[in-house]
Amino acid sequence: MTHARQHHIQVVAHRGASEAAPEHTLAAYRKAIEDGADALECDVRLTADGHLVCVHDRRVNRTSNGRGAVSALELADLAALDFGSGRTHAFWRGRDEEPDWEVRPEDPEDTSVLTLERLLELVADAGRRVELAIETKHPTRWAGQVEERLLTLLKRFGLDAPASAEESPVRVMSFSARSLHRVRAASPALPTVYLMQFVSPRLRDGRLPAGVRIAGPSIRIVRNHPAYVERLKRVGHHVHVWTVNDSEDVDLCAGLGVDAIITNRPRAVLHRLGR
C-alpha cells in the first residue's frame, strides 16, 4: 500500500543509502542521490590533525579494516583504511555473513574514508537540490572545535549564512544542546535539530532548547508517545524522526505529519510515500 500525502515529507538517507552500501561512504551517498533522497545525513568527527570526517563511532573498528579512535588518527592514517570491509553489513542486517551489498564499489575512493569536504563537493555536483543534515559527534571532548571547523568549511562552500532557515540546504543536528548553541551563536540562520533518545521532563510540554526549531525524536519515542509529536507540531516545531526503516513506522510518521523521515532505505521509504 502506498499513500498519497497531504504534505511533503522529506526523505533523508541515514549515513547514505546505508543498507545498499557501506555507511558513510561515497558509494552509499551516490546511491542515495540516485535513489532520489531529498537529503543526506552524516555524522562528523575530528581527526587528530583537525579534519572533519564522516564516521559514526568513536573508533573505526566496526566500519573499516583498521582499529583505533578517529580522534587519535590522522587523515592519512584513515585514508589507508578500507571502509567497505568493516562489519556494517552484519550490523544493519543482523547477520554475520559475507556482505552482499546492492552497490558493489569499484573505485577505491568509493569506500575510503569520506571527508565532509568531499561530501559537500558531491552534493554541490548532484545536479539537483540535495540537502545535508550534519550531526556533530563528541562535541564536549573537542570543546567547540568540531563546530568551528564545520562552520569554516561551510563558509568555503557559501553555506554558513543562509538568507533564512527555510532556504538553507544544510542543517546541523546534535544530541548536545550546547553544540547546537555554539552553531547558532556563530551562524544564527543555520537551522539546528535537537536529537532525542528520550524526552527529558523539562521538554515534555513541547519546548526545545532555546533557538532550536526542529525536534529529532527517535522512532521509539514516536511509537510510544505519538501525542508528544502532536504537541511539538502544535507549538510550531518541525519534527525529523530517526531511524525509520519499516513500512508501519513510515505510515505512523506520515499520519502524524512529521516533516522528515531519516532512513537507511531511502528508496523504499519514497515508494511507501507514493513518490
> Which residue's Cβ lies closest to ligand G3P?
242
Nearest to 134 by CA among 160, 166, 164: 160
Helix (H, G, I), strand (E, B) or coil at 14: strand
Catalytic-role residue among 3, 7, 8, 14: 14
| Dihedrals phi, psi of 91, to nearest 5 degrees | -60, -45
Q: Give the C-alpha distances (Å, rounded to integers) separating 163 from 5, 10, 38, 148.
A: 29, 21, 20, 20
* Contact predicate 63/57, CB 8 Å: yes
Nearer to ligand G3P, 173 or 273 (CB): 173
Nearer to Ca ion, 10 or 275 (CB): 10
Nearest to 173 by CA among 24, 17, 18, 42: 42
Using CB under 5 A, which residues numbered 16 to 55 contact Ca ion? 43
- The partner in contact with residue 242, picked from ligand G3P, Ca ion, none with C-beta cut-offs of 5 to 8 angstroms by kind, is ligand G3P
Q: Which of 110, 135, 160, 249 binds Ca ion (CB under 5 A)?
A: 135
Q: What is the dihedral of CA 212, 218, 223, 229, to 10 degrees?
A: 10
CB neighbour burial string for 165-195, b if at least 16 within 10 angstroms, e if fewer: eeebebbbbbebbebbbbbbebbeebbbbbb
Residue with cell 516533516: 259
The yes or no reply on residue 131 touching Ca ion (CB under 5 A) is no
Residue with cell 562552500: 157
Q: Which residues bind ligand G3P (CB under 6 A)?
A: 14, 41, 43, 56, 135, 195, 216, 242-243, 262
Q: How far is the CB of 108 from ligand G3P (least distance, A)?
A: 26
Nearer to ligand G3P, 62 or 161 (CB): 62
- The partner in contact with residue 38, picked from Ca ion, ligand G3P, none with C-beta cut-offs of 5 to 8 angstroms by kind, is none
| Dihedrals phi, psi of 132, to nearest 5 degrees | -130, 125
Q: How far is the CB of 240 from ligand G3P (least distance, A)?
A: 7
Nearer to Ca ion, 33 or 133 (CB): 133
- The partner in contact with residue 30, picked from ligand G3P, Ca ion, none with C-beta cut-offs of 5 to 8 angstroms by kind, is none
Catalytic-role residue among 24, 51, 56, 89: 56
Nearer to ligand G3P, 92 or 242 (CB): 242
Task: Quote the cell numbers at residue 77.
Answer: 592514517
Q: How far is the CB of 51 from ligand G3P (least distance, A)?
A: 19
In sign, the C-alpha dihedral spanning 212, 218, 224, 230 is: positive
Active site residue 7: no
Q: How far is the CB of 4 from ligand G3P (least distance, A)?
A: 26
Task: Quote the cell numbers at residue 46.
Answer: 575530528
Active site residue 56: yes
Q: How far is the CB of 59 from ligand G3P (least distance, A)?
A: 14
Q: How far is the CB of 12 from ligand G3P (least distance, A)?
A: 7
Q: Which residues are catalytic?
A: 14, 56
- Which residues of the shown chain bind Ca ion in the complex (CB under 5 A)? 43, 135
